[in-house]
Structure 1
């Protein structure tokens, strides 16, 4: 009986998983409302909610997959509001630091366009009664963001509780806007192999690692040729 109970608990934990986006549709996801055609030779990935880094080790490449969708899955417009959706449920590890970023050069450079720091996925601080029911984030893109026929949208997350992990999903999108450049904060990468900082478990202190997102940062510039 004990074996059966422990097995059921383990299976439930596996089903619960962690977190993953459903829109924009992440690469090789089976959970999107509209699924693009898979690139030749690729297969559906059923583990997009797993971390790409853990305790300083690299588990998967950035975006989980380096080959983009053959078609962009959404078209956004500079200066307008956009919405990012996450799969219902999941394990939110008491929140943590989330960033939403864009790359115009195939993933070499990412610039941040939105942050949800400290209590990502929570309605308020957990210690103040916040609950992990937030699965949709809506924010406004910078008005001077350049247009491009293909950008990489990336969500990244460092969890507050548990193993020191780094989560990431990527979607392939188009952005309507004029040609030009945009400079902003460079994406924060942590708990992802040598050369990157390891942010310790928060242990109730939600300022843990915050300097990597607010003050101890560098700038990045992206360039787009325009798209309408």
Structure 2
């Protein structure tokens, strides 16, 4: 009988940009790189040298999430800029971040789960973004949460299945997002 594999998962972010410094979104679970440590997680789309793939070349963390292959992990978000929703992909890499910018030259991410439409939110009208209702501890705006993956006019959360064939060991979990409304950009 084979033992299920367990690997540590360090969340990466897809980030949603809508304008000012307070109206953005980040993945907060699993804990992404640089969520609460300096330099704080950036909230801009991927853009060459300024915010390179992957994840703006961020790699600082204080928490790793342990996940069992064949199980699932909760993905949740914080923010006030949903750009009318969109589509998300969740990926894994076993490549380790390297200081000095070499991370983006070697990382190979494999998509393990996709959500086409309705991520991170769905709206009853052409609303671009939900009104902010709170702030997180780093003063990021947050909007109403659904607490599930099917709510409307709220930020959804998702249970993302982790394939049972994944190997044990440190891994990086990435969320990428393509917005429905506004400039067509890729956020991570």
Given the two structures, how large is their TM-score scaled by the length of structure 2? 0.62
| Matching residue of 1:174 | none
Higher RCO (Cα < 8 Å, 6 or more apart): 2
Q: Aligned residue pairs: how many?
A: 137
- Give the superposition deviation at 1:137: 1.1
Structure 2 residue aligned with 1:65:
57
Could you tell me which runs of 5 or more consecutive residues in structure 2 were left unpaired when the two chains were aligned. 1-18, 97-105, 127-150
SS at match of 2:20: helix
Q: Distance in 2 between matches of 1:116 and 1:125?
A: 19
Q: Aligned pair 1:75/2:81, yes or no?
A: no
TM-score scaled by structure 1?
0.52
8 Å CA contact retained: 1:27, 1:65? no
Q: Does 1:134 align with 2:155?
A: yes
RMSD over equivalenced CA pairs, Å? 2.7
Preserved contact between residue 83 and residue 139 of structure 1 (Cα < 8 Å)? yes
Matched, 1:49 2:48: no
Larger helix fraction of residues: 1
**How many angstroms does 1:126 deviate by?**
5.4
What is the CA-CA distance between 1:74 and the residue it aligns to? Answer: 0.8
Report the Cα distance in structure 2 between the residues aligned to 1:24 and 1:123, rounded to whole angstroms.
22
Contact 2:33 2:61 in 1 (8 A): no
Structure 1: which 5+ residue stretches go unaligned? 1-12, 31-37, 169-228
Q: CA deviation at 1:110?
A: 0.7
